Chain A
Amino acid sequence: AQRVTQPEKLLSVFKGAPVELKCNYSYSGSPELFWYVQYSRQRLQLLLRHISRESIKGFTADLNKGETSFHLKKPFAQEEDSAMYYCALGSSGGSYIPTFGRGTSLIVHP
């Protein structure tokens, strides 16, 4: 069975501080991993996916298969980064059924 664990419900930092939102997964196949973000009163939107290996809004995430992790990082947090962040695991193969973590609320204080 596939599972996504986001151990922190809430992460509170000050502007300019580094941020790391943790995500661990459990999956026997070849995983596809994603980070989604939901700003206040907005819909859920895709932030980044591991296969694209790009930086979006200063955020990066590296897939570590040995540690089964896909942590989201940003070196200098901004107030506008305050949002809910969800890690998601997509199953490979014919049926693509994403599994989401419960989310981490990031609050960036001025």
Chain B
Amino acid sequence: DTGVSQNPRHKITKRGQNVTFRCDPISEHNRLYWYRQTLGQGPEFLTYFQNEAQLEKSRLLSDRFSAERPKGSFSTLEIQRTEQGDSAMYLCASSSFYFGPGTRLTVL
């Protein structure tokens, strides 16, 4: 499969724990985006990378959220001290248009 992959697909965690998600984009794509999607809403932009540089971050992205793309290939999104309001689907997109399957986070 040469599409965008995300791991894990599902994550259940307790409030206060840290979680990390991974996105592997399409290999030749320079841009990588992270979105959050809650029930009944469209994807909301969180941040994006051009190669390894993080160029934009949404005001939605609190200081508990951090994203990296160390070698300009895969990316990770970490949420520290999770809260119940963080429960959502986290989507990654490669070059704007190619979405991964998402990671569904449930914070208990």
Using CB atoms and an 8 Å cutoff, list the residues of chain A in contact with chain B.
4, 9, 34, 43-46, 86, 88, 90, 95-103
Contacts and interface: CB of A to CB of B under 8 A. Distances in A.
Given A86-B42, A95-B55, A101-B42, A44 B91 contact: yes
23 contacts: A4-B42, A9-B40, A34-B97, A43-B4, A43-B99, A43-B101, A44-B43, A44-B91, A45-B99, A46-B97, A90-B96, A95-B56, A96-B96, A97-B45, A97-B48, A97-B56, A98-B33, A99-B45, A100-B42, A102-B40, A102-B41, A103-B41, A103-B42
Contacts of A45: 99
B99 A44 contact: yes
Given A95-B55, A97-B56, A102 B42 contact: yes
A99 B4 CA distance: 20
Given A86-B42, A103-B42, A98 B96 contact: yes
B49 to A, nearest CB: 12
B100 interface: yes
A100 B43 CA distance: 6
B102 A43 contact: yes
Which 5 residue pairs are nearest across A and B when measured between Cβ atoms? A100-B42, A44-B99, A46-B97, A43-B101, A100-B43
A12 to B, nearest CB: 17
Nearest to A42: B101
A71 B72 CA distance: 36
A101 B44 CA distance: 9
Nearest to A9: B40
Contacts of B100: 43
A97 B50 CA distance: 12
Given A44-B91, A101-B42, 19 more contacts: A34-B97, A43-B4, A43-B100, A44-B99, A46-B97, A86-B43, A95-B55, A96-B48, A96-B96, A97-B56, A98-B33, A98-B43, A98-B45, A98-B96, A99-B45, A100-B42, A100-B43, A102-B41, A102-B42
